[in-house]
Structure 1
Amino acid sequence: MPTLALRALGAALLLSATAAACAADQVVTLPLKEAWFEGEIVHYVSTDISDPGIAKKQGINYVPALADTLKPGMPVEKAYKFPGDEQATVLPSIPRPLGGANADASYSPLWVLVMVRWKPGITLHTLKSEEAVLAAEEKGEVELTRTRIVANWPVVRARGAALQGVR
């Protein structure tokens, strides 16, 4: 009997190792999206959003429960989105540094979208930071509208670094 038990254990270990090797060979490709952070382009992936129209348009998961993260004390920051796609979204934080050593406690991959609309007659120019967006609002160049749309957009490449597997 002990021999049968050892054979069964060996077969289970071999099966587990084979499954792990197969999983390691699989690759998922997601499109990188650009965003501005403090004057620099960073990249994120867009996987989930609480708005069905945007989810359908971008081909990502519609997750209405993401809007539940807007309760006080939840780690959701503003992301400044230009609904006409005049420019890339502006993010107020990123992991610092990127990866497992992130020390920026304010960073979260969950963002409540603030729509940035240019006012009529204003010459469009690129806003590359949260400070620039807020200054444009103060000057009367843009109108900011906070939504209840929450997106899951993890930052995967920034400041010359990238998460493992990101190319």
Structure 2
Amino acid sequence: MQVRSSALALIYLLASAATAAEITLPLKEAWYEGKQVHYISTDVSDQNLARKQGLNYVPALADALKAGPVEKAYKFPGEEQGSVLPSIPQPVGAENTDRNYHPLWVLVMVRWKPGVAQHVLKSEEAVLAAEEKGEVELTRTKIVVNWPVVRVEGTALPGVR
């Protein structure tokens, strides 16, 4: 009986060790030049946003703004749609050739103006055109987020499901 209990305990420990090496993170939807992409959201330089979204509060991310230009990510604070990104890894993974892409973004909040019929904006150009037409108001923040893109229309980093 003792041998059987020890064997079961060993099987349990091995199974626990195998699953402990894998975690699940929620994928967030975004748009890039009309394509739907997915990213993970892990860190943010704003404590209120960190609390609201359950992320790591990392004030040092804001230092990226001092180091040089950081690309903008267009976020809809009411979550009416996914964010809009101006660059992505092309392709996703080790063969990326887009030298402008990196996962740190400064947030630009996109708010629809009252009385405007909302529609999905699927590119940076569409966001800027909506601003020109007076449909949205853009507010650049000093909030920096870490949003690595992990999937682009069927191509994904290993392990992304």
Q: Which runs of 4+ in 1 moved over 6 A?
A: none
Count of residue pairs the alignment pairs up: 145
Measure the CA separation in 1 of the matches of 2:82 and 2:64.
24
The residue aligned with 2:131 is: 137
AA aligned to 1:68 is D
The residue aligned with 2:104 is: 110
Q: Partner of 1:84: helix, strand, or coil? A: coil
Measure the CA separation in 2 of the matches of 1:68 and 1:79.
17
Q: Does 1:49 align with 2:44?
A: yes
Measure the CA separation in 2 of the matches of 1:151 and 1:86.
19
The residue aligned with 2:144 is: 150
Measure the CA separation in 2 of the matches of 1:23 and 1:100.
26
The residue aligned with 2:89 is: 95
AA aligned to 1:31 is P
* Structure 2 gap ranges (5+): 1-16
The normalised TM-score by structure 1 is 0.83
* Structure 1 gap ranges (5+): 1-21
Structure ID, larger Rg? 1
**RMSD of the alignment, in Å?**
1.4
The normalised TM-score by structure 2 is 0.86
Question: Paired residue for 1:27, among 12, 22, 26?
Answer: 22
The residue aligned with 1:83 is: 77
